A and B are shown apart, each in its own frame.
Chain A
């Protein structure tokens, strides 16, 4: 409750500051629209914004889901197999030298202007953080637990599934929390490179028509989307915290 109050307070303060800035400087509305104007636009264009937010939300959610599943699987594979570690790990590390943003035009070329190029962007951005957070946690399983399992006569695969995986879930959760923040960034970049729907697209469109108030309204919608997503993922992850 106090947290909600604090956040509300800070937001209110920022809005007042924003309004004061606009009043004091007299900046034209196509550079910095007043908050009253932005909220007015947000309300009047709510159907339009909601429609585009739904598209971006779908991209982010699917990217998050698929990316998290792939990251989970890759980390498991790496933990289970020496061969996979020897082959995949250098590739994964090397792949990090390529800025994911730079792939956006290529993904659009390959996957088209629709949802999938954005899902792929979101997925690629979160894949490495999820994989490495979970893999590191899998490899950090307390040796005492592993030795106990060995004395009990466990097979390596059962040890992985029944001890290492549950022990590493807090690590997976922290990867997932990061992913919830990164995934919207990926989707928006994808939309900027080429799209006909989504909040990123709407921002570019509004910008082109000098509708700065709409741009800000779309930005606010995006921020809310990211916050809600983060809160939801955080709630989901709490079960794995210890």
Chain B
């Protein structure tokens, strides 16, 4: 699996209303990029464009991958809502993609991935029997099962309590290593922990503040993490 870099240049509107003015940015290959910005600035719209969920979005510009292969079939998506199917048990939820493509489902691998995300005791359960944090772990296992080079995350941890959120961040940072990750978030502390690169999106376009040199996931209480968190917050406030 070679994870490509992604780039976007252009502007988007929905129903005649501009969502973002012309932008240019690149998401480096095989790295974790946080797309940070206040609510309503158009972060999810950008993610939807990369995911091919562009119904209703008028995009004027270009979206490319560095190896010029199409996006279709090489992207997986994890959203704020876990989107688990309540009628399927956990391994079947993890195998959903294979079922939908008419491929044979590798349940052994699904159980292995569920074990990796710490759910080995819950394999025969339905999603409704799990906590929010556990459900998002299943969604992560489902994303890993898809095994796509490009992973798009739309605030997947923002609905979790502080402890589950921190655990999920570590788990995701660990298990998604090597893929091109574009992680939409409005949480500066999260970006300060996880990002190899930050794209800060404001009403006036995108800037790229440089994260600390240390390797993510960074310690919460490390001075450089907290310093960068504060810096990002200041930039966000100044931009509006």
Contacts and interface: CB of A to CB of B under 8 A. Distances in A.
Tell whether A and B belong to one assembly: yes
Interface of A: 144-145, 147-155, 158-159, 162-163, 166-167, 169, 242
B77 interface: yes
Contacts, number: 55
A148 B102 contact: no
26 contacts: A144-B83, A145-B85, A148-B77, A148-B79, A148-B83, A149-B96, A149-B100, A150-B53, A151-B75, A151-B77, A152-B101, A152-B146, A153-B72, A153-B73, A154-B100, A155-B100, A155-B101, A155-B102, A158-B99, A162-B100, A163-B85, A163-B100, A166-B85, A167-B85, A167-B87, A242-B86
B52 interface: yes
A144 B52 contact: no
A21 to B, nearest CB: 50
B136 interface: no
A148 B100 CA distance: 10
Interface in B82-112: 83, 85-87, 96-97, 99-102
A159 B87 contact: no
Contacts of B233: none
How large, as a class, is the contact surface on chain B? 20 to 34
A149 B99 CA distance: 10
B100 A153 contact: yes
A158 B75 contact: no
Among B72, B73, B76, B77, which residue has the most Cβ atoms of chain A within 10 A?
Answer: B77
A167 B87 CA distance: 8
Contacts of B87: 166-167, 169
B81 interface: yes
Nearest to A149: B100
B100 A158 contact: yes
B102 A151 contact: no
B83 A151 contact: no
A154 B146 CA distance: 13
A155 B102 CA distance: 9
Contacts of A242: 86, 128
A153 B97 contact: yes
B166 interface: no
B160 interface: no
Contacts of B76: 151-152
